[in-house]
Structure 1
Amino acid sequence: MDHAEVLLIGGRAGVGKTTVGWEVSARLRAARVAHAVIDGDFMGAVHPPPPGDPHRADITARNLAAAWGNYAELGYRRLVYTNTVAVLDDAAPMFRRAMGDGVRLVRVLLTATDETAEQRLTGRELGSELAHEVRGSARKARLLEERAPADVVRVVTDGRAVIDIATEVVAATGWATGRCETTG
């Protein structure tokens, strides 16, 4: 495979993006599919935001390009990337710049009800951010529902085991063909 492929896993806070991303990686490892994993939330984790970059988009793009450049140099061609809004059309140019114009984007939007997201966030947010995260999660859920393109695969996470969700997400990629893949 000469071109790069990226699985973009998006969704509101509390939907299970990181957990599903790691389970997707486990499923791909079991199928011996070479890949890299990046949690996009960490690509722009600086404070304060860089001058002229209030939403941390530029630093995120620079960090993605640097990390992917390292993976690609080692022969990797597939990336699992988790981030709330990664499935939106606005994100596609960042991946094309970092991974090449021919990159294949597989976009999966994980969904959950307000009740499920709040329950998960309550278990996760042990510090001072719970109320902020719950409000932000509801806001992002509305944004994603309004702006996610029709071709984005939507996967409901309410009441489902992470293994089942990950199996559905991996199926959307077509990557786990049962053959061994190396990085070179």
Structure 2
Amino acid sequence: MDQPEVLLIGGRAGVGKSTVGWEVSARLRDAEVAHAVIEGDFMGYVHPAPDGDPHRAGITERNLRAVWGNFAELGYRRLVYTNTVSVLAESASLFERAMGSDVRIFRVLLTATDDTTARRLKGRELGSELEREMANSVYKARLLDERVPADTVRVATDDRTVMDIAHEVVAATGWLRTG
């Protein structure tokens, strides 16, 4: 397979993107499917934002291009990428510039209720960011619900095991097909 492919796992804070992304990786590893994983939040995590770029898009793209270039040089063609808004249509150009114009994109939006995400965030955010994360999570849930492309696969995470969710996410790619 020469065409690069990327599985974008998006969703609000507290929905389980990172956890599901790592479980997807475990499933792929067990099936001996070559792939790389990038936690997209870390691609642009700097302060202050460089060159007046409040969304840090420029540094994110530079880092993604560099990291993916290293993976591609070693022969990898599949990427699992987790980031809240990566599933939005406008993100496609970022992946085309970083991975090549022929990149095949799979979008999965993880969803959960406000109560579920609030419970998860309270268990995870032990510092000063809890209130900000909770408010941002509600805002991003509405934004994503309204703006994801129609071909995005939506996967509910409420009251489900991470293994069950990852199974559904991997199925959206066809990466585990045999024959």
TM-score normalized by the length of structure 1: 0.96
Query: What is residue 133 of structure 1 aligned with on the other side?
Result: 133
Q: CA deviation at 1:177?
A: 2.5
Query: What is residue 149 of structure 1 aligned with on the other side?
Result: 149
Percent identity at matched positions? 73
Q: CA deviation at 1:82?
A: 0.2
**Separation in 2 of the partners of 1:89 and 1:177?**
27
Query: What is residue 93 of structure 2 aligned with on the other side?
Result: 93
**Separation in 2 of the partners of 1:165 and 1:25?**
13
The within-5 A match list for 1:1-184 is 1-178=1-178
Amino acid at match of 2:131: A
Amino acid at match of 1:124: R
Secondary structure class of the residue paired with 1:173? coil
**Separation in 1 of the partners of 2:41 and 2:90?**
16
Cα deviation, 1:100-140, whole Å, max 9, x if unaligned, reads 11100000000000000000000000000000000000000
Amino acid at match of 2:73: E
Amino acid at match of 1:79: L
Runs of 4+ in 1 over 3 A off after TM superposition: none
Unaligned runs of 5+ in 1: 180-184
Query: What is residue 182 of structure 1 aligned with on the other side?
Result: none
Q: CA deviation at 1:52?
A: 2.8
Unaligned runs of 5+ in 2: none
Amino acid at match of 2:114: D
**Separation in 2 of the partners of 1:32 and 1:178?**
12
**Separation in 2 of the partners of 1:107 and 1:19?**
17
**Contact 1:111-1:156 at 8 Å conserved across structures:** yes
**Separation in 2 of the partners of 1:61 and 1:86?**
12
Q: CA deviation at 1:21?
A: 0.1
Secondary structure class of the residue paired with 2:134? helix
**Separation in 2 of the partners of 1:52 and 1:34?**
38
Q: CA deviation at 1:178?
A: 4.6
Q: CA deviation at 1:51?
A: 1.4
Number of residues of Structure 1 aligned to a counterpart in Structure 2: 179
**Separation in 2 of the partners of 1:150 and 1:156?**
16
